[in-house]
Structure formats: C-alpha cells, structure tokens
C-alpha cells in the first residue's frame, strides 16, 4: 500500500483550492514537527521524572520544565519563525502572542492548547495537542488586533489534534473531511491511516464527569438520565466512558460513536459556563465533528456560530454523534431555556 503523509494528502485532496498554497503547507509542516517533539517528550515523561527527581536540572544540564510549559514553548518558538502567522493564541497565555518583529509575518492565526489533559501525565494517560487555524480578515501590514482574532468557529480554515496515546495520531480537517494519520516511529512520519472519518450517526457511549451532578441544571440532569435509561434510541443504557482528557474522550467517541459533555456547573463559581474554552478547545472539536457528520452545541446554539467576546471564554460543550446531540437540543428546547 502506498503510504501517504499529511502534506501529500493535503496537496492531493485540495488541488484546486488555494489552501494548498505553500504557506498553509508550511504552517502544517511546522505544527507536525512541533507535535513530534512534544510526543517525544511525552513518551519519556516517566523517565524525565526519574532523571529530574533530584532538582530542576536533567542529564543534559537543561532545566526540567513542566511538560505543558515545554509544549507551549515548542509551539511558540517554532511557529513564530514560520513566516506564515500574524498571531497566536495559547491556552497557557493570557494575551494573544504577537510575532516578534525580526520574523516575517503571514496572514494565518493559530489558536492552540499545547497539552490538553496534562493533569493526566503522571498516570500515563493519553493527552493531546489541539489546534485551530484562522485567516486574518483584512490584508494589511498593521499589527493584528484582538477584534481580528475573535472570530467565530465557523471561520476556521482548519482544525485538528494530535493524540499522544498507545500510538501517536494526528486528526485534522481543512474543510474537506476528517483524516487521521498515525505516526510511524520507524520513519518518523505521520502516515494516512484513517481517511474520511465519519462519526456513527447514533452512538452508544456517553462521556461526562458525573461527579458534578449536583452542580448541573435540570435539562443537563435529564439528558444524562436519558442516556443512562432504557428509554432512549438504543433501548438500553449507553456505556459511560470518561478519561478526563478531552482529546482522548473526543477521539474515542469519534471512532465508536457517542456524546461528550462538559456542561455548565451552575453552583461552581469557577465554571458557570463549564470548563472548556470556546476558542482553544470547543471550536476545533466542533469543526472536526461537523466535518465527520456529527454536531456540537452549547445546549441551544451551534458552537461554531458563537461570537467570541474574549480569548479564554468558556462554553458548555455537547459534542458527538448527530442523533445524540439532537437529544440535547430537544431537552433544552422542552425546558424552554434558551441559555444553558
């Protein structure tokens, strides 16, 4: 079988579209290299802990950094030099990141979560990097402004994630279906392994942190009860699977079918709109799931239609198989509540 890399696939599948310009390819190539570097460190995480246990310096004489800081720095340092971006937004940085003046700029905007689910690292649980790519709406040499960055998810030109799991995979969409590539460590390349991923229309898994039950609103409780009861489309309870790593929970449901939920916690002042961030987490997953035939909503609204007001805005997220997410919309509609 011919082995197809991400860039080859992009060029083959988008022959007639300007996305296949050298600039987008370069963006993707740099991102892939960043992911390989992060993946290499993630796979040594247990070892690093041992090597770095005595202090802050590892065997190479480098300061041992927390892996999420390390991943953030890898992406920022590589991508700022790529010459294709005008700004970046990282889940780890309060403000958007401008491209230093010594580097050339382009018109893409990269929004990312460098290492999502990093609380799971010490237990050797799969974690991931999430990315979302936009284009600047105006062609100008002026410095980019916050308003230009706050675009709704429907404006994304591409989105994806890298999952550092039992194998390392990259899943992405550039608006032309969802494609998965598995890292072959022997050649050091991500090779096409899952072309045209489609999420099953009807799932059999629900994923939610049910420990927060007492914090949820009534429609959310009814929704979760629906999936647990035998009065649903399956006629039997769905299986509960919750890793606590969005990339892993999302990826499993994408392949097997199901729904992931991170609802609002009405009684937790830290999470009145849930925990997940609209721009770094919800929007890229929403673009991927829609391209795979699924849906993503906040209870009443399509995630991709939400106009962001701030960079780190949080949003309740219900994402997955079309029929399962329609159940969520129906319960919120019946509750007559237009805001979850």
Binding site for Mg ion (CB under 5 A): 113, 116
Binds 245: which of Mg ion, ligand AHM, none (CB < 5-8 Å by kind): ligand AHM
Min separation Cβ 181 and ligand AHM, Å = 21
Number of H helices, E strands in the chain: 9, 13
Min separation Cβ 17 and ligand AHM, Å = 32
By beta-carbon proximity to Mg ion, the closer residue of 80 and 116 is: 116
By beta-carbon proximity to ligand AHM, the closer residue of 201 and 268 is: 268
Residue 80, C-beta contacts closer than 8 angstroms, at least 6 positions apart? 88, 97, 99, 100, 103
Min separation Cβ 246 and ligand AHM, Å = 3
Do β-strands 108-116 and 85-90 pair in parallel, antiparallel, or remain unpaired? Answer: parallel
Binds 185: which of Mg ion, ligand AHM, none (CB < 5-8 Å by kind): none
Binds 244: which of ligand AHM, Mg ion, none (CB < 5-8 Å by kind): ligand AHM
By beta-carbon proximity to Mg ion, the closer residue of 144 and 278 is: 278
Min separation Cβ 270 and ligand AHM, Å = 10
Binds 300: which of Mg ion, ligand AHM, none (CB < 5-8 Å by kind): none
Min separation Cβ 183 and ligand AHM, Å = 21
Binds 58: which of ligand AHM, Mg ion, none (CB < 5-8 Å by kind): none
By beta-carbon proximity to ligand AHM, the closer residue of 89 and 144 is: 89
CB 244 within 8 A of CB 117: yes
By beta-carbon proximity to Mg ion, the closer residue of 111 and 197 is: 111
Pick the closest to residue 68 from 97, 40, 91 (CA basis).
91
Question: How many angstroms separate the CA atoms of 185 and 190, rounded?
Answer: 9
CB 102 within 8 A of CB 80: no
Pick the closest to residue 230 from 238, 239, 222, 242 (CA basis).
238
Question: 3-state DSSP call for residue 262?
Answer: strand
Binds 275: which of Mg ion, ligand AHM, none (CB < 5-8 Å by kind): ligand AHM
Helix (H) or strand (E) holding 6: helix 6-13
What is the residue whose two structure tokens read 């949080």? 314
Min separation Cβ 246 and Mg ion, Å = 6
Binds 193: which of ligand AHM, Mg ion, none (CB < 5-8 Å by kind): none
Question: 3-state DSSP call for residue 17?
Answer: coil
Pick the closest to residue 290 from 108, 183, 156, 187 (CA basis).
156
By beta-carbon proximity to ligand AHM, the closer residue of 117 and 316 is: 117
Binds 118: which of ligand AHM, Mg ion, none (CB < 5-8 Å by kind): ligand AHM
Q: How many CB atoms lie within 10 A of CB 334?
A: 10
Min separation Cβ 94 and ligand AHM, Å = 14
Min separation Cβ 123 and ligand AHM, Å = 13
Residue 189, C-beta contacts closer than 8 angstroms, at least 6 positions apart? 3, 5, 183
Identify the bridge partners of residue 16 per DSSP, sorted by sequence position.
none
Structure tokens at 95: 């403000």
By beta-carbon proximity to ligand AHM, the closer residue of 161 and 172 is: 161
CB 317 within 8 A of CB 325: no
By beta-carbon proximity to ligand AHM, the closer residue of 117 and 203 is: 117
- Residues at the contact surface with ligand AHM, assessed by CB under 6 A: 91, 113, 116-119, 209, 244-246, 262, 275
Question: 3-state DSSP call for residue 91?
Answer: coil
């Amino acid at each position: 079988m011919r082995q197809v890399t991400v860039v080859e696939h992009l060029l083959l599948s988008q022959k007639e579209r300007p996305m296949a310009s050298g600039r987008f390819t370069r963006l993707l190539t740099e991102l892939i290299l960043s992911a390989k570097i992060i993946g290499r460190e993630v796979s040594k995480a247990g070892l690093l802990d041992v090597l770095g246990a005595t202090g802050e310096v590892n065997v190479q004489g480098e300061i041992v950094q927390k892996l999420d800081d390390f991943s953030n720095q890898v992406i920022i340092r590589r991508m700022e030099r790529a010459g294709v971006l005008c700004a970046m937004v990282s889940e780890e940085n309060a403000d958007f990141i401008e491209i230093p003046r010594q580097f050339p700029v382009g018109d893409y905007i990269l929004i990312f979560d460098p290492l999502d689910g990093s609380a799971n690292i010490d237990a050797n649980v799969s974690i991931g990097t999430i990315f979302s790519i936009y284009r600047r709406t105006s062609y100008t040499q002026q410095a980019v402004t916050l308003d230009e960055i706050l675009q709704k998810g429907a404006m994304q030109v591409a989105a994806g994630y890298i999952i550092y799991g039992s194998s390392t995979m990259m899943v992405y969409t550039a608006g032309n279906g969802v494609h998965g590539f598995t890292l072959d460590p022997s050649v050091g390349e991500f090779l096409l392994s899952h072309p045209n991923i489609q999420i099953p229309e009807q799932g059999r898994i629900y994923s939610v942190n049910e420990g927060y039950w007492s914090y949820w609103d009534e429609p959310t409780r009814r929704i979760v009860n629906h999936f647990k009861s035998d009065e649903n489309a399956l006629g039997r309870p769905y299986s509960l699977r919750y890793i606590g790593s969005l990339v892993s929970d999302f990826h499993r449901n994408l392949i097997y079918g199901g729904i992931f939920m991170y609802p609002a916690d009405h009684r937790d002042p830290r999470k009145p709109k849930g925990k997940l961030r609209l721009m770094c987490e919800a929007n890229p997953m929403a673009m991927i799931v829609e391209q795979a035939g699924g849906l993503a909503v906040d209870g009443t609204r399509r995630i991709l239609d939400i106009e962001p007001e701030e960079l780190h805005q949080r949003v309740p997220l219900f994402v997955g198989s079309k029929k399962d997410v329609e159940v969520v919309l129906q319960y919120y509609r019946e509750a007559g509540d237009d805001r979850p």
